Chain A
């Protein structure tokens, strides 16, 4: 096995209890057959569940399409087409439609960000949020077009110029609020665009982002009072208000009500803080019935620590061990000022939980074997994932990647896991070669190691990758190049 993978240095042998390799040849033929049948059953079951998830995901995507179409339909059913008689009314009509579609997209974004359990189970929060992000700019452009087109359309039909029209539009309270909403929306989108976002801390960005709720709400009065499409007593108005209730209702329930109740019920407190490496701490938590959270290995939750310095921002942190009835453990690296402050919380601190979330779990597997590549703090969900997975011997191959020994925290726990008995753990220490886009160490690369040589069963495996974003992207690039189907690639990203 070691020869096969060539350059990977098996430092694990010196650090960890010796890896036990059970020989499958020793088992009786009948037993082997049964095992194979059992594996087939497991794989079949996984495939069925994956197909079900796929179907649900496709339905969700289709319903987003349909909601956009429905927004246009509100205007069509209102008889909007009949009102187009000249260029001015045409521009006005286009302005109305862009407003409806833009607002619909913003409400879809709110639903995507509401952390609805169904969405999390089917596609996962990070995919939902990636979709949320891609909708951000189009929605803003549509709303901007809405304002511009209507001003122009009104000006043309009133026979005034755009500036005079804008001034007259600003006279109304409802429209003034709508302009305020637009300004807030611009602020939210601009601060969220990646290039600008780097200049903000996560906490500042998060606070600005909360303004989007306000932006969407202050736009409501003018939608109901100015437009004819959503006129009083119309079906359109009822649907539209329903849409708002759905978006804000799901945010209210899943981001505020459920977490509040859950935090109160479980009464979670910090029991101890242990520094496991420079800048990396494990937080030991105690609480009531923590097993009832039904956390799956590999999941994370969004935590809020009630101390003077940290209460106002919540952080997504992975469980580094599956919670027991009374204890849970998180491991966090100080990636920002906020998470550095978390390392200084005192025992007894009250903790709020939102979650658990995440699809980086055993439940999302589709293939018979398991391949894992983790780097740095990416070890945390991997640790609980492996702990929670009912693995057969020789089912899993784990590669732990670090630049130096400082990054080998929790590594010793991986080999000691019960589920890892008879499964292989390899480590790859060392810096990446300068100027080369690779996820491997310079040394491994020079020995000709590839993802396929390191993971011989890759194509029959679910690949779980966790580590820094750009590094993980390189792993996935190699996996795709080796022919691994998309459904077998599982990534947990540590970004916001």
Chain B
């Protein structure tokens, strides 16, 4: 009888694990598809910096959680820029990057550009899933802002201990830079 319990237990566990594994594998496939649509779906809603405060990530299936690497997609369709943003050298205005999803929450930045140079970077949203994330974000954001302002690009080095925040920050920044045509 004991043996039967063990056999039953093994069989049911194996079945449950197999289903879980299958779901995980499937989720990965749909998730990459979702990530593609996600980026384009999200961009129209970011009209300007002010509206973006209401976290614009239109997540179709919330269960499909992020692998940070999947998000970048430079979104050439990003027509979301401020009223007029002709891609000229002397470009000015504010540009909102798409929200980059990380495992600790979304990261979204807004850049202020004057005559083709970045004058300010504002973080609209930072990793904030728990208070640990918040403290990491608070530490990393000023460092990243300073580095971006001096480098005038998304080519800055990782803030140690804030890998996910940095990744998200720079991803969103890059999309804003793309919009500005910088």
Contacts and interface: CB of A to CB of B under 8 A. Distances in A.
A69 B136 contact: no
A58 B162 contact: no
A68 interface: yes
B23 A77 contact: yes
B16 A159 contact: no
A74 interface: yes
A61 B65 contact: no
Contact of A76 (B4, B5, B17): B17
B59 to A, nearest CB: 9
B63 to A, nearest CB: 5
A373 B49 CA distance: 83
Most buried by B among A63, A78, A160, A222: A78
A282 B5 CA distance: 42
Nearest to B66: A228
Nearest to B103: A228
A48 to B, nearest CB: 15
Nearest to A487: B1
Contacts of B146: none
A25 to B, nearest CB: 39
A348 interface: no
A70 interface: yes
Contacts of B129: 225-226
A66 B62 CA distance: 26
Most buried by B among A63, A64, A66, A222: A66
Contacts of A35: none
Given A76-B21, A168-B132, A66 B67 contact: no
A260 interface: no
B132 A171 contact: yes
A147 to B, nearest CB: 14
A157 interface: yes
B62 A175 contact: no
A79 B62 CA distance: 13
Interface string B13-24: 110110111011
B10 interface: yes
A240 to B, nearest CB: 13
Interface in B1-57: 1, 4-6, 8-14, 16-17, 19-21, 23-24, 27-28, 31
Interface residues of B, number: 37
Given A159-B161, A225-B129, A231-B62, A78 B24 contact: yes
Nearest to A50: B1
A70 B1 contact: no
B160 interface: yes
A78 B27 contact: yes
A69 B12 contact: yes
Interface residues of A, number: 47
Contacts, number: 124
B160 A160 contact: yes
A232 interface: yes
A93 to B, nearest CB: 12
B155 interface: no
Interface in B117-171: 129-132, 134-136, 160-163
Nearest to B3: A58
Interface in A200-239: 222, 225-226, 228, 231-236
A28 B92 CA distance: 115
Most buried by A among B62, B65, B134: B65
Contact of A231 (B10, B63, B134): B63
Interface secondary structure of B, over-half rule = helix
Interface stretch (A6-14, A80-88, A244-252, A272-280): A80-88
Contact of B135 (A76, A83, A168, A231): A168
A143 B132 CA distance: 20
A77 B1 contact: no
A57 interface: yes
A158 B163 contact: yes
B20 A171 contact: no
A66 B160 CA distance: 41
A420 B135 CA distance: 75
A232 B103 CA distance: 13
A173 interface: yes
Given A225-B129, A234-B63, A81 B24 contact: yes
A214 B13 CA distance: 30
A226 B130 contact: yes
A76 B12 CA distance: 16
A175 B14 CA distance: 33
A160 B16 CA distance: 37
Contacts of B23: 73, 76-77
Most buried by B among A62, A171, A172: A62
Contacts of A233: 62-63
Contacts of B136: 158, 168
B95 to A, nearest CB: 30
B161 A160 contact: yes
A257 interface: no
Contacts of A61: 5-6, 8-9
Interface in A129-179: 157-160, 164, 168-169, 171-175
Given A61-B5, A73-B17, A79-B28, A225 B63 contact: no
- Give 3 closest A-B pairs by Cβ, nearest first: A73-B20, A65-B9, A172-B131
Interface of B: 1, 4-6, 8-14, 16-17, 19-21, 23-24, 27-28, 31, 62-63, 65, 67, 103, 129-132, 134-136, 160-163
13 contacts: A61-B6, A62-B11, A62-B12, A78-B65, A80-B24, A158-B160, A160-B160, A160-B161, A169-B132, A225-B129, A225-B130, A226-B130, A232-B62
